[in-house]
Structure 1
Amino acid sequence: MTQQAKTKKLINAPENIIAEMIEGMVGAHPDLLRVEGPTGRAVVAIDGPRDGKVGVVIGGGSGHEPAFAGYVGRGLADAAAVGNVFASPSPAHIADAARAADGGAGVIMLYGNYTGDVLNFTMAAEELAAEGMAVRHVAVADDAASAPIERKEERRGIAGDFFIFKIAGAAADLGEPLARVEALAKAANEATRSMGVALSACSLPQTGRANFFIGDEDMEIGMGLHGEPGIRRQKLAAADEVTDELMDRLIDELALSGGGRVAVLVNGLGSTTQIELYLIFRRVKQRLDALGVSIHASWVGEYATSLEMAGASITLMRLDQTLQALLDHPCRTLALTVGTVHDGAAAEIRSRKSEKAADTARVAESTADLVAEGDVTPDIFRAMMKKVGEEIIAEKDWLSDLDGVIGDGDHGVTMEIGWKAVQSAMEDAPAEETIDGTCKRMAKAFLDAVGASSGPLYATAFLRAGSAVANRLNLDAGAMAAWIAAACQGIRDRGRAEPGDKTMVDAWVPAAAAALSTAQSGVSTLDTLKAARDAAEAGMKATATMEARRGRSAKLGARSLGHVDPGAASTFVVLRAMTLALEQVR
């Protein structure tokens, strides 16, 4: 048997390759990256981890560059645990990364669904939980070739990491709580499918020999990132033919059809030329165009490689409004930049606790790509929010009186404090700030000012609502309905209350349903708001017949009957004020 020829690589001592790579990476990007922790394997964002934000930790073996450390930066991952070539990072590496990323709101770990990664990340999570850190983890499993759909939990994670990391990083950057970041990462995982083809093997630096054998005229359909077998080996085929086979599986599994939207990643495995990758993308677009599926965003290049393996993978993520907004959220890393991220280096020399709300609000550098249709401009939206504050303050005593019967009597006072803080924060808003930016500003102001349950509930509502319209400059009827619905869902998720529990949800839920239904009928934004206002009023009044099941008033049992819930009442005031403000500018 002929001895296999050794491959050539520009390396020093193989045992030092990872430490030297990290040193070179951080040295080349000192504005983005630093190393923390005693293991030297935690690459951390200069402008990422911060107090009160969920920390996002990613990781896996080296050899897949720019994954994983290439996705560390503002708006994406806060830290990456870097393993040896094609080997999981150890629990110590992962723990270093998590401690560096922890801002007190918990940490989410994202990694490929491989046995080594699952074991090591799980062990690290157990260690950190014992220290008191809240930890969640999601194993990415996007490789459609690695297991049948009925056993999709067994599937490997390959280039789909790119999208799951992006979604989770954006959610965390927007201030979403840990459970919500986890839920969104899982939703992205469920909406993402990948499949690849390998044309040649790669070689490990330690051996200098190919890690598997493939004939000169052959290709492997469904090959894994480490050279794991695919579903079939066959003779090399034309680019369109190969792309069609990969796309057939992805289209079928994602149930893509006319009117759908996707994000596309055509990923090179290490030594595939740009010519080949663009040929593949050309065919991907042809297939999607033929289905009537629009491509919202696309990337072509090397994003998750296998050393010098020849081949490519295709990843599709099926988009809904939430995933699309998170995909579009700004981030800045050495491997991926989306939008414009403000320089946050100054955060290193100022007290985070003393930041104004204005410091965390993001102002769009350019609104050219935002949807401009709609009569509610950012200025009008801010006028509506100012009117809400005025109406809440005017109704403070009524709201407190309602709360005095079935609660602790401070709801009106609490709401006044929160909305005064919102009004103050909006005074610092630049004229060009988007509605999404104003919602972030409002969320921070309300949360900082109010320590009662209303603080996190309304902060979450504002963040979700802003995110739901992040792609818009102005709001029309449909966007206003989406704003209301997202605010409602944020309150439900945060408070874990459901209709019938006698809470503000009993006003928000019918308001959201009425807004969505009315907007679909083609009426004006004002009519949509009126429908939401009227439904909220009906929902508020209906709480008088309910027995409280959530909050402090739940202890009253039947004694809560006959009294309107103060949270539902303030919800009605909010929507009434928004409606009144829009009427006044028409």
Structure 2
Amino acid sequence: MTRLFNDPDDFLDELTEGFVAASGRWVRAVPGGVVRSTRSPEPTVAIVIGGGSGHYPAFAGLVGPGLAHGAAMGNLFASPSTQRAYSVAKEADQGRGVLFSYGNYAGDVLNFDAAQDQLKAEGIDCRTVLVTDDIWSAPPDEFEKRRGIAGDLTVFKVAGAAAEEGASLDEVERLARHTNDRTRSFGVAFDGCTLPGKSEPLFTVPQGRMAVGLGIHGEPGIDETDVPTADELAELFVSRLLQEVPEGVEVSGARVVPILNGLGSVKYEELFVVYRSVDRLLRAAGVEVVDPEVGEFCTSFDMAGCSLTLLWLGNEPGGELERLWTAPADTPAFRRGSVSEREHVDSSATAAAQKTIPPASDESRHAATYIADLLARMAEAIDAQADELGRMDSVAGDGDHGIGMQRGSRAGARAARSAADAGAGAGTTLAEAGDAWSDQGGGTSGVIWGRILQTLGKTLGDEAPVNAAVVAAAVGEARDVVMGFGKAKVGDKTMVDAIVPFADDLSASVEAGRPLRVAWPQAAAVAEQAAQQTADMAAKLGRARSHGDKSIGTPDPGAVSFALICTTVAGELPPADGAG
């Protein structure tokens, strides 16, 4: 378990500070993560990677010449927010475009896509290549739905080397996609990982058993088997990966890069014992092993487990993928060959922009104070249920929903109070809360609740009185926004299963003339019932999708937390319509 930390809420900030202090030769801190501390001789395409913390050396440890230009860093196992991804990309951009690359997880996709949209709106050409190497997370005919695990390294390395050679954004994107198409991975675990401040791991594996096909965020394995010997594990890895050779590659004579990756607490010596058989089995299959790697490249905090990745270079020596994989690189955690001397850039902190509070009516400022109080109550309610929300999420997901909701709701409450105390109206207060929730909460829940609060704020504004009709309309807008960008629908076992009936019932009640103090509690009860009914569903979206029927019997944590917040607000409504 994790032992060395101070306040768990400060873990990301403190690990970032320590990492930068130890790695100033390669990186400097910027809002949202790190970028190179050196400048290329000539401007290149910027490779920006990222994801949740807890996977070192992915992602910050792979920033440096010949590899990534920047890494957006989220909280433990939570995707970096839109603001973080955008900020890092802006700092990394050299005028030749930005390539985002990261593992295929719902929260990362939502946040990085939103950051990409912002960059494009500012005239910066930006592309995305998702890493989808995990063969256990979806069948071959649904390759695009697979998640990214240790195969991240191959895609990042090839893209970084291509950029270093001066390739265009079109060419860098092509090569990154080609590398992803040629990369396959398979992981196992013997025990789960424990996040700072928690006494129990996100999942457990029975003594003497091994989870097969697990995810790097603590998602349970797809299957389970007895713990094998090192030779038997190598046989399992190699035999399964040889069943899925990329199109256009002949196994006999194929040139392959094997990467045996430790997930956190498996020792290097153990990995070498396994790799001994991996190498032998690959060569017996007629494969030519090229420049293998054994070590930690994408971990899962203190998880006991490992994975094998195969990058299929092709059948001809010296091809483009082989040239780029073996090209020099110099980062805190991955070094190869020798790169030229680089000029260091100014590492002074970027000055924070001063926020201006827009004017607001007295009625809206009064509503803002009430909204700040509501957000504080919401954060308290989430705190009380965080462990249970995490337990529900761990059944088929990664178990961090409670932690993410805690971080986000606390940050949202603080931002709302600060805005209201500064004289902000209802709209600005909600928008500030949404920005903070998204940034600190991270992950899927962070971006969703950020959008909800921002949409509520936009609809309420800072001038008009806040009444039942306006609130119902704002909730309806938030529902549509969540469904629009998340692509979820009723029945997919997500928050949408609670927000749709809540918004519909609230709107119908308000249209029938019921005051908010009556309509909201009634709609909250509908949301609570809908959330509990998700227990009968199988997950169809997000990380839980890979585990399908495992989620049956447990309500969706996102729907449950939404209903909890609605119920909390219901208990705080004033005796008459007006504020809130």
TM-score in terms of structure 2 length: 0.57
User: Which residue number in structure 2 is paired with residue 340 of structure 1?
Assistant: 338
User: Which residue number in structure 1 is paired with residue 199 of structure 2?
Assistant: 208
Is the counterpart of residue 297 in structure 1 residue 304 in structure 2? Answer: no
| Structure 1 residue 175, shift from structure 2 partner | 0.6
| Structure 1 residue 25, shift from structure 2 partner | 0.7
One-letter identity of the residue aligned with 1:105? R
What SS does structure 2 have at the residue aligned with 1:25?
A: helix
Which of 279, 284, 292 does residue 273 from structure 2 map onto? 279
Residues 310/127 of structure 1: CA separation in 2 closer, same or farther (3 Å cut): same
What are the ranges of 5 or more consecutive residues in structure 1 without an aligned counterpart?
1-6, 350-586
Matches within 5 A, 1:487-566: none
Kindly indicate whether the alpha-carbon contact (under 8 Å) linking 2:328 and 2:338 is maintained by their aligned counterparts in 1: yes
Is the counterpart of residue 103 in structure 1 residue 94 in structure 2? Answer: yes
| Structure 1 residue 9, shift from structure 2 partner | 1.1
Q: Provide the rounded CA distance (Å) in 2 between the counterparts of 1:261 and 1:231.
A: 30
The C-alpha deviation readout for 1:155-211, integer Å capped at 9, x for no partner, is 010000011100000011111000110000000000000001100000111423200
One-letter identity of the residue aligned with 2:204? F
What SS does structure 2 have at the residue aligned with 1:292?
A: coil
User: Which residue number in structure 2 is paired with residue 245 of structure 1?
Assistant: 236
One-letter identity of the residue aligned with 1:342? S
User: Which residue number in structure 1 is paired with residue 321 of structure 2?
Assistant: 323
User: Which residue number in structure 2 is paired with residue 61 of structure 1?
Assistant: 52
Kindly indicate whether the alpha-carbon contact (under 8 Å) linking 1:51 and 1:103 is maintained by their aligned counterparts in 2: no
Q: Provide the rounded CA distance (Å) in 1 between the counterparts of 2:39 and 2:143.
A: 32
User: Which residue number in structure 2 is paired with residue 87 of structure 1?
Assistant: 78
| Structure 1 residue 51, shift from structure 2 partner | 5.5
What are the ranges of 5 or more consecutive residues in structure 2 without an aligned counterpart?
348-580
User: Which residue number in structure 2 is paired with residue 17 of structure 1?
Assistant: 11
The C-alpha deviation readout for 1:453-490, integer Å capped at 9, x for no partner, is xxxxxxxxxxxxxxxxxxxxxxxxxxxxxxxxxxxxxx
| Structure 1 residue 247, shift from structure 2 partner | 1.2
The C-alpha deviation readout for 1:480-504, integer Å capped at 9, x for no partner, is xxxxxxxxxxxxxxxxxxxxxxxxx
Kindly indicate whether the alpha-carbon contact (under 8 Å) linking 1:192 and 1:315 is maintained by their aligned counterparts in 2: yes
Q: Provide the rounded CA distance (Å) in 1 between the counterparts of 2:329 and 2:287.
A: 26
One-letter identity of the residue aligned with 2:272? Y
Is the counterpart of residue 263 in structure 1 residue 268 in structure 2? Answer: no
Q: Provide the rounded CA distance (Å) in 1 between the counterparts of 2:2 and 2:90.
A: 38
Q: Provide the rounded CA distance (Å) in 2 between the counterparts of 1:32 and 1:148.
A: 39
Q: Provide the rounded CA distance (Å) in 2 between the counterparts of 1:201 and 1:55.
A: 35
Q: Provide the rounded CA distance (Å) in 2 between the counterparts of 1:315 and 1:164.
A: 12
Is the counterpart of residue 162 in structure 1 residue 153 in structure 2? Answer: yes
RMSD (Å) for aligned C-alpha atoms: 1.6
User: Which residue number in structure 2 is paired with residue 549 of structure 1?
Assistant: none
User: Which residue number in structure 2 is paired with residue 390 of structure 1?
Assistant: none
| Structure 1 residue 229, shift from structure 2 partner | 3.0
The C-alpha deviation readout for 1:120-148, integer Å capped at 9, x for no partner, is 11011011111111000011000011111
What SS does structure 2 have at the residue aligned with 1:199?
A: strand
Q: Provide the rounded CA distance (Å) in 2 between the counterparts of 1:155 and 1:346.
A: 38
Q: Provide the rounded CA distance (Å) in 1 between the counterparts of 2:344 and 2:152.
A: 31
Q: Provide the rounded CA distance (Å) in 1 between the counterparts of 2:184 and 2:331.
A: 24
Matches within 5 A, 1:366-381: none
Q: Provide the rounded CA distance (Å) in 2 between the counterparts of 1:232 and 1:347.
A: 49
Q: Provide the rounded CA distance (Å) in 2 between the counterparts of 1:197 and 1:12.
A: 31
Q: Provide the rounded CA distance (Å) in 1 between the counterparts of 2:344 and 2:43.
A: 18
| Structure 1 residue 348, shift from structure 2 partner | 7.1
Q: Provide the rounded CA distance (Å) in 2 between the counterparts of 1:193 and 1:322.
A: 18
Is the counterpart of residue 45 in structure 1 residue 40 in structure 2? Answer: no
The C-alpha deviation readout for 1:2-53, integer Å capped at 9, x for no partner, is xxxxx451101111111111111110111111012xxx32201112567631
What SS does structure 2 have at the residue aligned with 1:163?
A: helix
One-letter identity of the residue aligned with 2:271? L
One-letter identity of the residue aligned with 2:337? G
Kindly indicate whether the alpha-carbon contact (under 8 Å) linking 1:261 and 1:294 is maintained by their aligned counterparts in 2: yes
Q: Provide the rounded CA distance (Å) in 2 between the counterparts of 1:98 and 1:8.
A: 31
What SS does structure 2 have at the residue aligned with 1:110?
A: strand
One-letter identity of the residue aligned with 1:129? K
| Number of aligned residue pairs | 340
Percent identity reads 44
One-letter identity of the residue aligned with 1:343? E
| Structure 1 residue 212, shift from structure 2 partner | 0.8
Matches within 5 A, 1:141-152: 141-152=132-143
What SS does structure 2 have at the residue aligned with 1:253?
A: coil
What SS does structure 2 have at the residue aligned with 1:262?
A: strand
Larger relative contact order (C-alpha < 8 A, sep ≥ 6)? Answer: 2
Kindly indicate whether the alpha-carbon contact (under 8 Å) linking 1:61 and 1:86 is maintained by their aligned counterparts in 2: yes
Q: Provide the rounded CA distance (Å) in 2 between the counterparts of 1:230 and 1:139.
A: 22
What SS does structure 1 have at the residue aligned with 2:127?
A: strand
One-letter identity of the residue aligned with 1:345? E
Kindly indicate whether the alpha-carbon contact (under 8 Å) linking 1:48 and 1:78 is maintained by their aligned counterparts in 2: no
Residues 312/330 of structure 1: CA separation in 2 closer, same or farther (3 Å cut): same
What SS does structure 2 have at the residue aligned with 1:297?
A: coil
| Structure 1 residue 89, shift from structure 2 partner | 0.2
| Structure 1 residue 84, shift from structure 2 partner | 0.3
What SS does structure 1 have at the residue aligned with 2:9?
A: helix
Q: Provide the rounded CA distance (Å) in 2 between the counterparts of 1:48 and 1:234.
A: 49
Is the counterpart of residue 183 in structure 1 residue 181 in structure 2? Answer: no
User: Which residue number in structure 1 is paired with residue 112 of structure 2?
Assistant: 121
The C-alpha deviation readout for 1:326-384, integer Å capped at 9, x for no partner, is 011111001101110111126779xxxxxxxxxxxxxxxxxxxxxxxxxxxxxxxxxxx
Q: Provide the rounded CA distance (Å) in 1 between the counterparts of 2:37 and 2:18.
A: 16
| Structure 1 residue 74, shift from structure 2 partner | 0.7
What SS does structure 1 have at the residue aligned with 2:108?
A: helix
The C-alpha deviation readout for 1:419-448, integer Å capped at 9, x for no partner, is xxxxxxxxxxxxxxxxxxxxxxxxxxxxxx
Kindly indicate whether the alpha-carbon contact (under 8 Å) linking 1:54 and 1:176 is maintained by their aligned counterparts in 2: yes
What SS does structure 1 have at the residue aligned with 2:50?
A: strand
User: Which residue number in structure 2 is paired with residue 508 of structure 1?
Assistant: none
Kindly indicate whether the alpha-carbon contact (under 8 Å) linking 2:44 and 2:164 is maintained by their aligned counterparts in 1: yes
